[in-house]
Structure 1
Amino acid sequence: MIKRELIASLANREEGPVTVAGWVEKVRDQRYVQFVVLRDESGAAVQLVNGGVVRELDPNSEDPKDADRHVRTTAISEVATGSFVIVSGELQKNERVKLGGIEVQIDKFEVVTAADPETPVAPDSGIDVRLDWRFLDLRRPEQALIFKIQTTFLQALRNVWVEKGFIEVQTPKLMASASESRAELFQLEYFDTTAYLAQSPQFFKQMAQAAGFGGIFEVGPAFRADPSFTSRHATEFTSVDCEFSWIESHEDVMQLHEELIVAGFTAVKEKHGAEIEKLFGQTLEVPTVPFPRIPLAEAKEIVKERGYEVPRNDADMDPEGERQIHAYVKEKYGHDFVFLTDYATSIRPFYHMRHADNASLTNSYDLIYRGVEISTGAQREHRIAVLEQQTVEKGLDPKEMSFYLDFFRHGVPPHGGFGMGLARVLMLMLEQSSIRETTYLFRGPTRLQP
C-alpha cells in the first residue's frame, strides 16, 4: 500500500512532513510559484505550493541507473487537470488559505498518470454527457457523497434486520417462468430453453418463508423491460427487499418498513448531515413515526377536493395524484412520507391477500416519499386453495406457476414484505432531479454503456 494520508484528515493534523495523493483539480501558475488544488476520494481538497519542477513517472523508461526509475522532469504548469499525482511535502497552517487554512509546501511531486489536456466533461455538462463519462462525473464531491450515503443507509437497514434475526439471501436473477405476467420482462435464450430476467425476488422471498427462515432480506438487481424515459424509471435497478413470517396484517409490514426508514435516515444524518448541507444545500430531516396512513379511496377524494381528479379508468394513484397527496400530508402532518393502503384487487398481483370482508381490496400499500412512490408492500396469501383461485382469476396458468404454488402445499405461515427502489430513495432524499444521478451506472432503454 502507498503510504499516504487522506486530505480530509489533514485539518486535525499537526504541521510537519506529509504525503498525499489524488487528482489535480486546478493549476495556477504565477511568475515565481505554482499553486495546485488536489482532491482525493475523501472528497476534500488541499492547496499545494511549489516553485520548482515536477517528477512524472514514465512507464517506458528502463534505465537501471535511474535511482527513482521511470522518471522524467517537466514544469508543474504543464500538468493537466485530472492527472493523478503523489505529493510529499511539509504541511503548514495558513489562515489565508481558503481550503481549510492549510497548505502543503511541495518537496516531491510525482505524476503517476497524466490526464489528457482536454476534459470531455464540464461542470455545466448535461446529464447524458456526464453519463457518457461517468467515471469523471463521479469524481465530483457531491457525486461521491451520494454513494457514501448509500453505503451508510444500507448498513443501517442491515443492522436492524440482523438485530431482529433476519437472514440475508441472494436470489437468482434468471427465471424459468414469468413472475406475474409476461409484461415488462426481458426474455433471453438459455441453452435449449427460454429464461427471463427477474422483475423482483418475490417468489424466492416467499420460498424462504416455506423453508422456515422467518425473516429475510436482499439488496440486489431487478430488471424491467419498461421503455420509459421518466426521471424515476430504469431497466435495471437495485431493489431493497424484505419478507417475514408470523404477521397479522400488512400493518406489521408497514411498522417494520418505517422503522427501517427511520434507522437509515438517522444514520445518514449523523454521519453525513454536514456534508449534505454543504454540497446539496439542504438539511436532512429524520421522519417521525408512525408515518401517516391513508386508504387509497380516501386519498383520491382528498386529491379531488384539492382540485385534481385521478382519471376514472385508473384504479391506481397517478403521479400527479401522488404529488397532491404528499402536499396534503405535508400541510396537515408536516410529514414527507405517507402509506397509501387498501389497493384494489384489480391492480394488485394474485399473491396479495384480500380483505376478509371485502374481496375487492387487498392488504397492501404503497409508500410515497415527497410525492413519489418508492415501495410496494403487502400481506401475502398463504392459503393454497385461495391462492390457486386467485391465480386463475388473474388469467394465469396454474401449471406454469406450479413451482411457486408447491411452496404452499407443505405449510407456510402468514407472511408479508415489501420491495423498495434504492435509487429513488436517494434521489428524493437529496432532492435530485433523476435516478440517473443516484445510480452508479444507469441502464435505460437507450443506455447500455459505460
Structure 2
Amino acid sequence: MSERVLVKQLQSREDGPVSVSGWVETVRDQKKVQFVILRDETGAVQLVNPATRPIDPSTSSGTEQEQDAAALTLTDTISGLATGTFLTVTGELKHDERVKLGGVEIKIASLEIAAAALPETPIAPDSGLDKRMDWRFLDLRQRRNNLIFRIQTTFEHALRTYWIDRDYIEIHSPKLMASPSESNAELFEVPYFEDKTAYLAQSPQFFKQMAQSAGFGKIFEIAPAFRADPSFTSRHATEFTSIDAEISWIDSHEDVARMQEEILQTAFQAVKDKHGAEIAELFDVEVQVPTIPFPRIPLAEALEIVKARGYEVPRTDGDLDPEGERQIAAYVQETFGHQFVFITDYHPAIRAFYHMRDAETGLTKSYDLLFNGVEITTGAQREHRVDVLIEQAKEKGLDPEHLDFYLDFFRYGVPPHGGFGMGLARVLMLLLGQDSIREVTYLFRGPTRLAP
C-alpha cells in the first residue's frame, strides 16, 4: 500500500501518484464524470473518475475488455458509495487552479473501501441539537466541529506552555473523595468498597491547597469535575472540564487575577494566530485578543451600575444574576471596549468558607471573571490561618471534624496562597459565539444525558 498522504499536505506536493484515506462527504454522478468529496481529519479533496465507454466485444481486445470491465466496476462502486463510508483512494494528483476545493484534485486509479456506511444518515446539518447529540460521532465529522477541538487543543497547549515556562507543576488530583470538597450540596455519591460512600469531586480545591502545604509553590490542573446540579441552562453540565491553578506567597487576590488575565491573553493570541481565519470563515467571529489589565469593578458598584441601566437584580443573596451579568458586561464593553471584567469584593455570605476576608471591609478577597456577560471563573486568596479557617467554616454551618483531613494541611503550615477555577467549555462557547456549551463539549453530560 502507498504511504498515506493527509489532505492538508496535497497542495505542497508535486503532481503524481498519491494515496489518501478518509470518509465520503458527497458523491456527484454526472454523465461523463463522477466526483467524490473525500474528507479526512485535516481537510477535504475532490476525487475524479471519468465515465467509462461502453464495451464493444467486436472491436475491443481482451486487454481492453478487462480494462473496461475494471473501469465499469469502479464506476459502479463509486455510484454506490454512501456518505460516511471510509475508504482509501490511490490516483494521480493534479494541481488545477479551477478546482475550488484547494486547487487540487485526484484522478482515481483504485479505490478500497475500509468500512461502508449505511445509506440513510440519521442526522443532517440542520437537525436539532438534541438529535445531533444522539449521533454526536456523526455530528463531529463536520468541519466546524472538528475545528472546535483543534481550537481547544491550541487553547490548552497555550495555557500549559505559559505555566510550564514559569515553573508551575501540573498535578492530577483524585476525582473520588472520602468527604465533600465544599459542602453537601450538588454531590454525586458513589458506592465504594466495604459499604463506604465516595463522592465525585466538585473541584480539586482541597487538593490544590494541599499542594501549597506540600511546598509545590505553583500548580495547575486541567481535569474533569462533577456537579449534581439538575440545571438545564445553556452553560451548565453535570460533568465538565475545569481549569485550575493555585499559587503560593501572594499578597492578595490581585496576584491571582493578574496571572489569569495573562494566561487568557496568551491563549487567545495562540488561538487567533493558528485558527483566526478559519474561525472567521466557519463561525463568523473575529477572535479578539484581550488587552491587560482587565477592568475591575467591586460588586456593590456593579449592582449600582446595573440599576442605573434600568435593571434591578431580584436576587436576595446580593449577587449578580445572569441578566445582571449581561448588563454589567454591556456597560464594560461600552465604557472600556473590553470583553472581560473582574467583579470583586464579594460578601462572605455568598462565598466559600475558605475565602480570605479583608480586615478593614470584612469582604472577601475574591473575584468572579465575566467573559461576554457570562461568569467563567471564581478566584480568591485563601484563608491560610487555621483558627480563622475553622471559625469561618462554623459560620457556614460546617462541622470542622468533617474537615479534619483538610484542616491538617493548615495545622502543619501553609503559605499565603490563592487560585482560581475556570470552566473550559464556557470559555470556548463564548469565544466562538455559540449558544450552548453542548456545542463545544466532546460528549455532553447533563441531567437527562448519559449517552453516547
**C-alpha displacement at 1:9, in angstroms?**
2.0
CA positional deviation for 1:312: 5.1
Structure 1 Cα separation of the partners of residues 35 and 222 of structure 2: 44
Structure with a larger share of its residues in helix:
2
> 3-state SS of the aligned residue for 1:75?
helix
Question: Which residue number in structure 1 is paired with residue 409 of structure 2?
Answer: 407
Please tell me the root mean square deviation across aligned C-alpha atoms, in Å: 1.3
1:189 Cα deviation from its structure 2 partner: 1.3
What residue is the counterpart of 1:62 in the other structure? Answer: none
Equivalent residues of 1:351, 1:380 under 8 A apart: yes
Deviation at 1:2, TM superposition (A): 7.2
| Counterparts of 2:112 and 2:329, CA distance in 1 | 54
Q: Distance in 2 between matches of 1:297 and 1:2?
A: 67
Q: Does 1:297 find its partner at 2:296?
A: no
2:84 to 82, 85, 91: 82
**Pick from 154, 158, 175: which aligns with 2:177?**
175
Q: Distance in 1 between matches of 2:314 and 2:400?
A: 33
Alignment correspondent of 2:387: 385
Mapped to 2, the partners of 1:7 and 1:236 lie a distance apart of: 35
Within the candidate set 280, 285, 304, 2:288 is matched to: 285
| Distance in 2 of aligned mates of 1:225 and 1:95 | 55
TM superposition shift of 1:314: 3.0
Which amino acid in structure 2 is aligned with residue 250 of structure 1? H
Q: 1:281 is aligned with what amino acid?
A: D
* 2:83 and 2:119 in contact (8 A); partners too: yes
Within the alignment, does 1:367 sit opposite 2:369 as a pair?
yes
Larger Rg belongs to: 2
Residue 193 of structure 1 corresponds to 196
Show the counterpart of 1:59: none
Output the amino acid matched with 1:411.
G
TM-score, normalised by the number of residues in structure 1: 0.94
Partner amino acid, structure 2, of 1:218: E
Does the Cα contact within 8 Å between 2:38 and 2:47 map onto a contact in 1? yes
Pairwise CA distance, 1:76: 1.2
Instruction: Give the CA deviation at 1:435.
Output: 0.3
Deviates more, 1:1-10 or 1:101-110: 1-10
Matched, 1:315 2:318: yes
- Contact residue 2 and residue 18 of structure 2 kept, 8 A: no
Q: Say which SS state the counterpart of residue 139 (structure 1) adopts.
A: coil
Paired with 1:312 and 1:2, the residues of 2 have a C-alpha distance of 65
Question: Retained in 1: the 8 A contact 2:169–2:216?
Answer: yes
User: In the alignment, which residue of structure 2 is the partner of 1:64?
Assistant: none
Deviation of 1:277 (Å): 1.1
Q: Secondary structure at the match of 2:437?
A: coil
CA distance in 1, matches of 2:103, 2:266: 35
In structure 1, stretches of 5+ residues that fail to align are 54-71
Q: Distance in 2 between matches of 1:208 and 1:396?
A: 23
Give the letter aligned to residue 257 of structure 2. M
Tell me which of 422, 428, 438 is aligned to 1:436.
438
Q: Give CA deviations for 1:380-425 in whole Å, capped at 9, x if unaligned.
A: 0000110011111111001000000010011110000000000000
Secondary structure of the structure 1 residue equivalent to 2:250: coil
Alignment of 1:84-99 (within 5 A): 84-99=86-101
2:44 matched residue in structure 1: 45
Structure 2 residue identity aligned to 1:20: V
Q: Which runs of 5+ in 2 are unaligned?
A: 53-72
Residues of 2 paired with 1:282 and 1:194: CA distance?
46
Amino acid at match of 2:25: E
Matched with 1:344 is 347
Give the 4+ runs in structure 1 shifted more than 6 A: none
1:174-232 deviations in Å (ceiling 9; x for gaps): 11111121111111211221111110000000000000000010000000000001000
1:52–1:76 CA contact under 8 A, matched in 2: no
Cα–Cα, structure 1 residues 2 and 317, in superposed 2: closer, same or farther, change >3 Å?
A: farther
SS in 1 for 2:230: coil
Would you say the 8 A contact 1:166–1:216 is kept in 2? yes
**Do 2:2 and 2:19's aligned partners in 1 also have CA atoms closer than 8 Å?**
no
| Structure 1 residue 315 displacement after superposition | 1.4
Aligned-partner Cα distance in 2 for 1:5–1:427:
33
Aligned-partner SS, 1:443? coil
1:337–1:369: 8 Å Cα contact kept in structure 2?
Answer: yes
CA deviation vs aligned residue, 1:97-129 (integer Å, no higher than 9, x gap):
221221111111111111000000101001111
Q: Distance in 2 between matches of 1:321 and 1:414?
A: 32
Q: Which residue of 1 aligns with 2:149?
A: 147
Residue type matched to 1:212 in 2? G
State the match for 1:136 in structure 2. 138
Residues 12-161 of structure 1: pairs in structure 2 closer than 5 A: 12-42=12-42, 44-51=43-50, 74-161=76-163
Contact map agreement 2:317 2:350 (CA 8 A) in 1: no
TM-score by length of 2: 0.93
Which position in structure 1 is the counterpart of 2:213?
210
Q: Among the aligned pairs, what percent are the same residue?
A: 68
Query: In 2, distance between residues paired with 1:365 and 1:124?
Result: 40
Could you tell me how far 1:3 is from its partner in structure 2?
A: 2.0
Task: Report the Cα distance in structure 2 between the residues aligned to 1:13 and 1:288, rounded to whole angstroms.
Answer: 40
Who is 1:328 aligned against? Answer: 331
Counterpart of 2:346 in structure 1: which amino acid?
Y
- Letter of the 2:121 counterpart: T
Structure-2 change in CA distance of 1:181 and 1:150 (3 Å): same
In the alignment, does 2:448 pair up with 1:449? Answer: no
Q: How far does residue 316 in structure 1 lie from its aligned partner after superposition? A: 1.2
CA contact (8 A) 1:205 1:216 kept: yes
1:312 to 1:37, Cα distance in 2 relative to 1, 3 A:
closer
Question: 2-side partners of 1:230 and 1:247: how far apart?
Answer: 35
Where 1:378 maps in the other structure, the secondary structure is strand
Match of 2:277 among 253, 274, 296: 274
- Match for 1:153: what amino acid? F
